[in-house]
Amino acid sequence: MSTAQRSREVRFDTAARATFEDAFGKAHPAFAATAAVDELRATQYARLDERGDVYLDYTGGGLYAESQLEEHLALLRGSVLGNPHSVNPTSSASTALVESARAAVLAFFNASPDEYACIFTPNATGALRLVGESYPFGAGGRFLATFDNHNSVNGIREFARAKGAETTYVPLEAPDLRVADGLLEAYLTDVPAGGHKLFAFPAQSNFSGVKHPLDWVAAAQQRGWHVIVDAAAFVPTSALDLSTRHPDFVPVSFYKMFGYPTGVGALLARHDALEQLHRPWFSGGTVVTANVQGDLAVPLSGHALFEDGTVNYLNIPAVEVGLRHIDRIGLGTISRRVQALGTWLLGALQSLRHSDGSPATRVYGPKRWEGRGATVAFNFLHPDGRVVDERYVDVIAAAHRISVRTGCFCNSGAGETAFSVSRETLIGAEFGEGMILDDYIRLVGMPTGGAIRVSLGLVTNFADVYRFMGFAEEFCDLGAVPPDLPPRLAC
Ligand SMILES: Cc1ncc(COP(=O)(O)O)c(C=O)c1O
């Protein structure tokens, strides 16, 4: 760090924390009302503070409480569980646990079993692939997606293309990275009649934290679209009520909500929408019967048609344990907590200045709390306005034991908008064999390999965001960064 920095006034040092925390508590009485979560953190998540970790990558993955592990382990220790594809006693025990978890998932999202099915998948990506590969795209059909989408949604365009349907993207407006008022309606309306139409958007952006309007669901359905609401980044800190909104398909990953188990997600799907899907194959678990001499394959229906092979029957019961854990804390409490901490962090980050008064950060997406969640994407800036290489940020963050995400977060479209990469910029940027991400960044002229993403969650406390700001302050008056940073291989 430079000499200039050493002479700067340090705002977020350890000694000043109590004063900041006191002022924060007074400014956010709703936060004080969530003190039970601080106690929970001290008992159930003690490993964080014991190890000195500042975990700020909740959009990447949530954290589990010790009680979740204990409850799950006790269940496994006290049971004999067999493959559910049978009727023997151990098989029936597994089936009962899986079906109980399925009912618990539907209840958690207030989804009536008469309206929705819960299909267990390996993760949100697996849920999206099920929809993409089975959707009846065809000539005259369309896949519509917002620029702001995870690549696991973008990948659906390959299924659309293979079946002759067109893909269209709804652009975002910088700097807020939202869709301009009225623009979506034009995209929903301006389509030829006939053909199956699928629209996908995230309830909350995993890049900018923007919460896109859930009113889009009904608006699209009224115009004949099926709608995927990608809720993977939304549901860890916000309530999704499927009795008031009725999207056709909702993918989620449970580890993002409560940390454990990994390897289990779900596709919540309306029964009437599921009936429109055509699976491209059959497998063990998805057929009533099949033969090899007569080319017969009689598909099962409902969730069974979409659960290939053996479901993750030992881990699925841990989903029910996790849902109970969240219910006990209350999603309202979690939302209020991350809102208070997120508002403080957003303001503090934007207030960082170099000694010459120039901004030390650039935040992508909404600068104020309204209509957003607790995911903040930004870059540090050098005093001359250049973006600080995110790989250097990784190095310094690791030295502080701070876990944040850097790069494009698998959200290409939001990244392109944030970094002003246009279609024209992309022309000629041919990605040849053997190239790595660094080559692509150079070709399209991006200022760096991506942004820094801070995301808050279940047990974030004031000390976490305060320690993060102490780290951020080190970038004020930053001189040159070392030239020997590791190459960027993939996003
Ligand atoms: C909005 C969104 N959708 C989909 C995914 C994919 O989730 P998974 O990697 O668990 O399949 C993510 C993961 O970060 C996400 O944030």
pLDDT (tens digit, 0 to 9) for every residue of the chain, 491 residues total?
A: 444 444 567 889 999 999 999 999 898 888 989 999 999 999 999 999 999 999 999 999 999 999 999 999 999 999 999 999 999 999 999 999 999 999 999 999 999 999 999 999 999 999 999 999 999 999 999 999 999 999 999 999 999 999 999 999 999 999 999 999 999 999 999 888 889 999 999 999 999 999 999 999 999 999 999 999 999 999 999 999 999 999 999 999 999 999 999 999 999 999 999 999 999 999 999 999 999 999 999 999 999 999 999 999 999 999 999 999 999 999 999 999 999 999 999 999 999 999 999 999 999 999 999 999 999 999 999 999 999 999 999 999 999 999 999 987 888 889 888 888 887 777 766 677 777 777 777 777 777 778 999 999 999 999 999 999 999 999 999 999 988 888 887 77
Ligand 1: residue of 262, 410, 453 to mutate (most ligand atoms within 8 A of CB) is: 410
Distance from Cα 318 to the centre of ligand 1, integer Å: 20
Q: How far apart are CA 364 and CA 126, in angstroms?
A: 29
Q: Is 491 a catalytic residue?
A: no
Which residue, by CA, sits nearest to atom 14 of ligand 1?
60
* Contact of 266 with 238, CB cutoff 8 Å: no
Annotated catalytic residue, options 118, 408, 410, 476: 410
Q: Kindly report the number of other CB atoms within 10 A of residue 359's CB atom.
A: 16
Predicted structure pTM score: 0.95
Looking at this protein, which amino acid is placed at residue 166? Answer: E
H or E, element range at 441: helix 437-444
* Contact of 273 with 77, CB cutoff 8 Å: no
Distance from Cα 351 to the centre of ligand 1, integer Å: 31
Q: What is the DSSP string of 30-87?
A: HHHTTHHHHHHHHHHSHHHHHHT-EE-BTTT-----HHHHHHHHHHHHT-----SSS-
Distance of CA 240 to the CA centre of its chain: 14
Q: How far apart are CA 214 and CA 224, in angstroms?
A: 17
Distance of CA 326 to the CA centre of its chain: 17
Residue 312 Cβ inside 6 Å of ligand 1? The answer reads no
* Contact of 28 with 340, CB cutoff 8 Å: yes
Res 428: pLDDT: 66
Instruction: Give the sign of the dihedral formed by CA 348, CA 349, CA 351, CA 355.
Output: positive
Grouping H, G, I as helix, E, B as strand and the rest as coil, residue 488 is coil
Q: Kindly report the number of other CB atoms within 10 A of residue 326's CB atom.
A: 18
Q: Kindly report the number of other CB atoms within 10 A of residue 384's CB atom.
A: 8
Instruction: Give the sign of the dihedral formed by CA 240, CA 244, CA 245, CA 251.
Output: positive
Torsion of CA 148, 153, 158, 161, to 10 degrees: -70
Distance from Cα 453 to the centre of ligand 1, integer Å: 14
